[in-house]
Amino acid sequence: MVVRLSLIIELKNVCMVHAVIPLNCLLCGQAAFVNRISGPPDHVQRLEELGLRGGVRIEMFRPGSPCIIRMAGNKVCIRSDGLLEVLVQPAETLSPR
């Protein structure tokens, strides 16, 4: 019971604004800042070369797998396998859809 309760609290925390969540948890139109990208160094570097790196502001355009995000006015389509994870911090306000 206690475990379940703490799990619910934790889940609530994860979904709270400002918490760091995986990219694919972003809703359509939600803006966020990239927190960090973890995975094989080579793949991480590939994404960074494309402009997806810590501190960059993004906006979810089309959620799902693959998803489409807006980044500095450009759009990028991404499907990451289980190895690579992009963690983002949602911005406070939702931008208009």
Partner 1 sequence: MNHAPTARAAMTVALIGNPNTGKSSLFGALVGVRQRVGNYPGVTVERRSGQMEFAGRKIEVIDLPGLYSLAPRSRDEMVAVDVLLGRQDGVRPVDLIVCVLDAANLGRNLYLVSQVLELGLPTVVALNMMDLAESRGVQIDCDRLAERLGVPVVATQAVRHVGIAELKAAMHRAADQKARKYPSPLPAVFRQEIDRLAAWFLKPSNGSPGRVVARPLLERLVLDASGYLERGIFAAEGPALAEELAALRRRLEQSGCAVPGVETKSRYAWTEQVLSGAVHEPDDYLPTWTDRLDRVLTHRVWGTVIFAALMIGLFQAVFSGAVPFMDLIEAGCAWLGAQIEAHMAGGALRSLLASGLVGGVGGVLVFLPQILILFFFIGILEDCGYMARAAYLMDRFMSRVGLSGKSFIPMLAAFACAIPGIMAARVIENDRDRLTTILVAPLMTCSARLPVFALLIAAFIPDEPVLGVFDLRGLTLFGLYGLGILTAVVVALLLKRTLLRGETPPFVIELPSYKWPSARTVLHRVLERGWLFVRCAGTIILAVSIVVWAALYYPHDAASVDRQPHLSHLKAALDRMDPAGEDYAALAAELERERLGEFQRQSWLGRAGRAVEPVFKPLGWDWRIACAVIASFPAREIVVATLGVVFDLGENADAKSEAGAKQFRDKLRQATWNGSGRRLFTVPTALSIMVFFALCAQCAATLAVIRRETNSLRWPAFTFAYMTTLAYLGALVAYQAGTWIAARIG
Binding site for partner 1 (CB under 8 A): 39-51, 53, 61-62, 64-66, 68, 70, 72-81, 83-84, 95
- Rg (the chain; Cα; Å): 14
- Which amino acid is it at 42? D
CB of 88 to partner 1, least distance (A): 15
CB of 92 to partner 1, least distance (A): 13
Angle at 27 between CA 87 and CA 61, to 5 degrees: 90
Comparing CB distances to partner 1, the nearer of 7 and 77 is 77
